[in-house]
């Protein structure tokens, strides 16, 4: 009887152990693992063996969102404490003589002013075009105001570059016109001098020709007169000889 019970216990032992092992294995699977196994089964992938690392599941590709340029809205207040100013307010303060000019820059039709409002301890930097207020900035401290002033100064300088070049070219053209006028006047004087000199040379040449002609005539007259004089001298000498032949021979005492 005991041997029969031992056989039954031996036979029942392994089945009991297998059932416990299965229960322990089921308990050791976490809910996440179960979910992964379910997903793998739904995707048609064979789950990994117990105890082996599960293969990574490939995630589906997500569409890439196209980047679009974001419009940049300029802030009226900068990091240095400068903001856009109300031009009407500055014109009203100027009419009330409430602004003190600290800096003034002018280049042709453009001018920049650094103005101080003592009552509010505020600084204004104004850009003018032909005396009309164009742009204006407001600052709470002098350093920021001077930075804005230099910015407007550079802008006014760039804007007036063409006018600067125009003024230079106008001055150069006027200088060239004066030089041309002086050169033409000098050329006319030289031309007049040459013409006068040529006329004088022609007059001198004509006079020299006339004088030479007269000298030749006078020389011919002199030669003729000298010949006539020599002839007269010979006649006189001959007459003297003839006259002396009539003198009687007187004895000497």
Which pLDDT tens digit goes with each residue over 219-232?
Answer: 999 999 999 999 99
Task: Please indicate, yes or no, if residue 137 is contained in any of the structural domains.
Answer: yes
What is residue 102's three-state secondary structure? strand
Asked whether the beta carbons of 147 and 104 are under 8 A apart, the reply is: no
- Where would I find the H helices in the chain? 2-28, 31-43, 87-95, 142-159, 161-244
Q: How many CB atoms lie within 10 A of CB 93?
A: 18
- Same domain, residue pair 135 and 116: yes
Q: CB–CB of 117/124 below 8 Å?
A: yes
Rg (CA), the chain: 66
Burial of 173 (0-12, 13-18, 19+ CB in 10 A): exposed
Determine, yes or no, domain membership for 237: no
Which pLDDT tens digit goes with each residue over 1-40? 444 444 444 444 444 433 433 444 444 444 445 445 444 4
The number of folded domains in the chain is: 2
Any domain includes 4: no
Provide the whole-model pTM: 0.46
Q: Quote the crossing angle between the two packed helices 142-159 and 161-244, to the nearest 10°.
A: 50
State the first-to-last Cα distance of the chain, in angstroms, to the nearest integer: 246
66 by DSSP, 3-state: which? coil
CATH at 134: 3.30.720
pLDDT of residue 80: 63
Contact 152, 125 (CB under 8 A): yes
* 173-190 average pLDDT score: 95
Structural domain for 183, as ranges: 161-209
* 148 in the same domain as 96: yes
In a domain, 244, yes or no: no
The maximal CA–CA distance of the chain, rounded, in angstroms, is 246
118-171 tens-digit pLDDT = 999 999 999 999 989 999 999 999 999 999 999 999 999 999 999 999 999 999
């Amino acid at each position: 009887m005991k041997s029969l019970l031992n056989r039954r216990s031996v036979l029942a032992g392994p089945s009991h152990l297998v059932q416990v092992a299965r229960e322990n294995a089921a308990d050791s699977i976490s809910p996440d693992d179960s979910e992964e196994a379910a997903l793998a089964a739904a995707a048609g992938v064979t789950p990994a063996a117990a105890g082996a690392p599960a293969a990574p599941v490939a995630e589906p590709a997500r569409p890439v969102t196209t980047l679009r340029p974001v419009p940049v809205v300029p802030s009226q207040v900068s990091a240095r404490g400068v903001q856009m100013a109300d031009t009407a307010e500055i014109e009203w303060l100027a009419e009330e003589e409430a602004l003190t000019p600290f800096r003034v820059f002018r280049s042709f039709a453009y001018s920049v002013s650094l103005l101080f409002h003592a009552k509010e301890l505020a600084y204004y930097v104004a850009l003018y075009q032909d005396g009309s207020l164009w742009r204006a900035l407001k600052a709470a401290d002098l350093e920021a105001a001077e930075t804005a002033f230099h910015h407007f100064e550079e802008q006014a300088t760039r804007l007036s570059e063409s006018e600067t070049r125009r003024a230079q070219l106008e001055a150069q053209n006027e200088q060239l016109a004066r030089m041309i006028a002086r050169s033409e006047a000098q050329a006319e004087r030289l031309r007049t001098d040459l013409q006068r000199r040529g006329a004088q040379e022609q007059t001198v040449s004509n006079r020299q020709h006339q004088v030479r002609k007269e000298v030749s005539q006078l020389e011919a007259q002199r030669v003729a007169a000298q010949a006539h004089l020599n002839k007269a001298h010979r006649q006189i000498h001959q007459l003297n000889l003839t006259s002396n032949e009539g003198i009687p021979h007187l004895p000497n005492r």
